[in-house]
Amino acid sequence: MLQIMASVMADPPEGKGLSSWRDSKSQRVSAMRPLTAEDTVRGQYDGYLDVDGVAPGSTTESCVAVRLSVDSWRWAGVPVLIRAGKCMPATATEVYVRFRRPPHDVFGLEASRRGTAARRSFGGLALLRQEQAAARQ
Position 5 scores a pLDDT of 85
Tell me the CB-side half-sphere exposure of residue 84, using CA atoms within 13 A. 8
Q: Can you give the pTM of this predicted structure?
A: 0.67
Helices assigned H by DSSP within 10-137: 18-30, 125-136
Over range 29-43, report the average pLDDT.
Answer: 93
Position 123 scores a pLDDT of 56
Position 131 scores a pLDDT of 41
**pLDDT tens-digit profile of 70-113?**
998 888 888 888 888 888 877 777 777 776 666 777 777 665 55
Q: Map residue 79 onto helix, strand or coil.
A: coil
Over range 11-25, report the average pLDDT.
Answer: 90
Burial class (CB in 10 A: 0-12, 13-18, 19+), 9: buried
Q: Is the pLDDT of residue 51 over 80?
A: yes
- Cα separation, 35 vs 13, whole angstroms: 27
pLDDT top residue among 131 and 14: 14
